[in-house]
Each structure stands twice: as structure tokens, then as C-alpha cells.
Chain A
Amino acid sequence: SQKIEQNSEALNIQEGKTATLTCNYTNYSPAYLQWYRQDPGRGPVFLLLIRENEKEKRKERLKVTFDTTLKQSLFHITASQPADSATYLCALDPTGGGNKLTFGTGTQLKVEL
């Protein structure tokens, strides 16, 4: 069966460190993968998209990698801040059409002072 797996355990790190979140998928061959941020009581907010032919994508302090051989995406936040504390979701579209995103359950990140 198709699955998207993210670490269900919360990730606690110290301010200034790099946070690394993992997204693994099985039985998909996605053309792209997206990362979203979700704060409590709010809808997800889009952060980054990476295509299957891209190994790495950066946006300010964010970096995403995409390894289609390992079927894994890594999401990095460098120089983390308490304001980065949130749940981070990865999502992909198994149909390739861009209209049926399948989301992982998300990983909660807490950045401590």
C-alpha cells in the first residue's frame, strides 16, 4: 500500500541549531513533493516544492532534499528560532496532476531558547 511517513515523535532542538525532518514514502513515484507548515488551530501554509529532477532546493533558512532512489525527502531549518516551532507536513500527489495531495501526519518541531 502507499504510505507517507514522518517522525511522529516531536523534535526538540536548541535555538540556533539546524533542525532536520524526514519524510519517507513507499509505493509512490511522485513528480514532486511539497512541504507545509501548520500552526495550532490554523491551516497548513506552503513552504517549498521540489521536483523529482531536483536534488536540493533552498529558500532563506530552509533547505529541502529529494532522493527518489531512497524515496525520501529531508527538510532542514538552519539557525532555528523559537518562531519556527510548528508542525511540518510533507505532501505529494500520487497522480501527478497536482490536485490530490496526500499528506504525511507531520512532525512537531519545538525550538527552545
Chain B
Amino acid sequence: GAGVSQSPSNKVTEKGKDVELRCDPISGHTALYWYRQSLGQGLEFLIYFQGNSAPDKSGLPSDRFSAERTGGSVSTLTIQRTQQEDSAVYLCASSQQVQAYNEQFFGPGTRLTVL
């Protein structure tokens, strides 16, 4: 079946511009996660959504970052006024439900480059 998809695969933007990154989770997965992977760094948790519950935003690095999930499916991560330090690969993952022991299925990521 279809896996997690993300778009665009690559995004180059100028400092100060806003960007939107999209994630389509696996159909039926109620939990959706966003991570960031910088060069030489581990994956950094950003935010997760579970069903209709309020999202856990505790990993967002600043108020320039926001995310929403419409209809319990597609999610958009928005970065406003991008900075060069925002350059990274942004990975989305989904799982069937949020509880211990559930594996997360990752998309291929969006590589963001801020010039």
C-alpha cells in the first residue's frame, strides 16, 4: 500500500520567506509526527497529532514554526520568516495509534535550504 508521502521533496528559499511543507500519512493512521534532521544531528522531535486531541507542540523550536492537521489526515508544517539555521530535512511519520510499542512509518522527507 501507499506509504507516507511528503512534498515538496526539495525546497530552496530565501531568508525571511515563509514555507509550507506537506505530509500525507498512511490512510487510517491516527497519529502523525514531524521531526527535523540537521546534518550530523539526530532526528529532533517537533510536534505530534493524535486524532482530535490538541497537538503536542513541545518540540517546536520557536513561534515561527506551526503545524496543522486538517480532517485528521493531511498535515502542513509552516515556517515563517525562515532563517538559515532552519535548513534541514523535515521528516513526517505516522502510526496507527499513539501508545507505546507502535512503530512509526516515515516519509522520505523534505530537504529545506534557506539561502
Which residues does A use to contact B, with CB under 8 Å? 4, 31-32, 34, 41-46, 49, 51, 89, 91, 93, 96-106
- The CA of A46 and the CA of B103, in the complex, are separated in Å by 6
0/1 string, B71-115, CB within 8 A of A gives 1: 000000000000000000001010100111111111111000000
Please give, as numbers and ranges, the residues of chain A lying within 8 Å of B50 by CB-CB distance: 99
User: Can you identify 23 A-B contacts, CB atoms within 8 angstroms?
Assistant: A31-B100, A41-B108, A41-B109, A43-B106, A43-B107, A44-B106, A49-B103, A51-B101, A89-B43, A93-B100, A96-B100, A97-B100, A98-B98, A98-B100, A99-B31, A99-B56, A100-B59, A101-B43, A102-B42, A103-B35, A104-B42, A105-B41, A106-B42
Please give, as numbers and ranges, the residues of chain B lying within 8 Å of A41 by CB-CB distance: 108-109
- The CA of A66 and the CA of B17, in the complex, are separated in Å by 45
- The CA of A43 and the CA of B106, in the complex, are separated in Å by 5
A-B contact count (CB 8 A): 65
Is B1 close to A, CB under 8 A?
Answer: no
- The CA of A97 and the CA of B103, in the complex, are separated in Å by 12
Is B48 close to A, CB under 8 A?
Answer: yes
**B56 x A100 contact (CB < 8 A):** yes
Please give, as numbers and ranges, the residues of chain B lying within 8 Å of A43 by CB-CB distance: 4, 91, 93, 106-109
